[in-house]
Amino acid sequence: MATNNSQVQKAEIRVLRGKNKSSGNEPYLECGFNPPEYGMNRQVNYGELKASGSGASSQQFVNRSADTLSMELFFDTSETQADVRSEYVDKLDYLASVDPELHAPPLCQFVWGDGLSFTALVQSLDKTFTRFLPSGVPVRARVNVTFTECKPSDYRRELKPESTDKTKAWTVTEGDTLWLIADEEYGDPSYWRTIADANDIDNPRAVQPGEQLELPPL
């Protein structure tokens, strides 16, 4: 049965952590053209164990490497004559750069309808510009992207606690607790006591909307 292309859902990228964090299911970047294909790679690592005296060896399972997702994305702004870099490619560059709030690249998610949802960090970008305006501004680009799987819990553990390097102010809103604030600011709710000590708070639940808190560096 033929597929109606107008009903095909567009692939999109969402930012889960960072200054450009997506709101709800709102995409950070929507692909105007879906990738024609994508590749998934999984690698299992083994170590060689040698039996003493016999010279014989065997393979011992060590671990499984993170899965990778690779694809080519196509972007074209020929109709609008906008710079394809500022419209699309620069947004991909951000995913492979250090986010100023995290001091690390942002965690993102590649989503394509109900068939693919991959939470990851961008491992590499290979960009090729293939069409230009008379002024030299590129309006067409192909970008080979490789994502490396990363779970949100693993990502939080990998972020350095020193990410916060100066004291910040936080205005408490309805529903805030010190645990939630610590998780948002430091990436780990267990740092609630750091906030409590800095603000002379005995009860971590006893914060009121509108209250100003100081969030010190770790």
State pLDDT tens for residues 173-190: 877 788 878 877 877 777
Q: pTM for the full model?
A: 0.66
Q: Is the pLDDT of residue 163 over 60?
A: no
Instruction: Answer yes or no: is pLDDT of 1 > 60.
Output: no
Instruction: Kindly state the average pLDDT of the residues 18-26.
Output: 82
* 5 confidence band (pLDDT: 50, 70, 90): very low
Distance between CA atoms of residues 195 and 217, nearest Å: 10
> What integer pLDDT is reported at residue 3 of this predicted model?
43
Q: Where in the chain is the domain with CATH 3.10.350.10?
A: 161-215
What is the second-level CATH architecture of the domain 8-158? Answer: Beta Barrel (2.40)
Residues of the chain with CATH 2.40.30.200: 8-158
CATH architecture, range 161-215: Roll (3.10)
Per-residue pLDDT reduced to its tens digit, 23-80: 777 899 999 999 999 999 998 887 766 655 656 666 776 677 889 999 999 999 999 9
Average pLDDT over the chain, rounded to an integer: 85
Share of the chain above pLDDT 90, in %: 46
Q: How far is CA 178 from CA 40, 95, 205, 214, in A?
A: 40, 29, 7, 11
CA distance 184 to 179: 9
